[in-house]
Structures are given as structure tokens and as C-alpha cells.
Amino acid sequence: MCGLMAGSQLDEPFEQSFRAWVGSRREVIARILTGGLDRSELRGDLDLDHAIDLFFGPFSYRLPVGHAPLDAHEAAHRIDPLLDGLRPCPRSRGTQDRMLP
């Protein structure tokens, strides 16, 4: 992945192909998140593009920097807290949702 990212900076035709591939991966996550929105499993005020960036951020950083492992266990460890943040906050009697602005 690091080589692909570097190559996309040096070769314009490859950059277009790489961006199209990344876009296709983003579309997959968008469909998953949209399904969660449709089922009210995620916050109604979710910024879809921002949430997708949050999904890819840890991987985009860990791969080129290489400061820590990135395996299936580590991926789940990064995604679970993200999903917790995207879920609606439970309502307590007499209080409003605790959503950040």
C-alpha cells in the first residue's frame, strides 16, 4: 500500500487509477454506513464523508509510518471505538442526547 500511495504522487495516470480504487473502497464503507443509518443504528446527524475518513485514517497512517502493527486484531481494536462514537447516544429520562455539535 505504501508503494501505491507513493506511486500515485509520481505518476498522474496511476494517480487517477489509484484514486478510482480508493473511491471504490470508500463506496463500500458508505453503503455499510448508510445501511446503519437506515436501520437507526448510527447517529442521525452523521457526516458520512467524515465518518469514512475516520475509518481509513488509522490504516492510512499506520501503514506508511510503520510505528505499530496492523493486523486483524489491531484493526478491530481501532474500528470498535469508532463505531461506538457513531452510534446514537442512549437517552436518559429527563435529559437530551449527548451529541457533540
> Over the stretch 63-87, which tens digit does the pLDDT of each residue have?
777 777 778 887 788 788 888 888 8
Please report which confidence band the pLDDT of residue 2 belongs to, taking 50, 70 and 90 as the band edges: low
Q: What is the pLDDT of residue 24?
A: 95
Our count of domains for the chain comes to: 1
Which CATH number goes with the domain that contains 38? 1.10.357.10
pLDDT per residue over 12-58, tens digit each?
A: 888 898 889 999 999 999 999 999 999 999 999 999 999 999 988 87
Query: CB neighbours (10 Å) of residue 92?
Result: 9
| Most distant CA pair in the chain, distance | 58
Asked if residue 76 is part of any domain, the answer here is yes
Asked if residue 75 is part of any domain, the answer here is yes
Domain that holds residue 70: 2-86
Angle of helix 48-65 relative to helix 12-38, nearest 10 degrees, comes to 130
Asked if residue 92 is part of any domain, the answer here is no
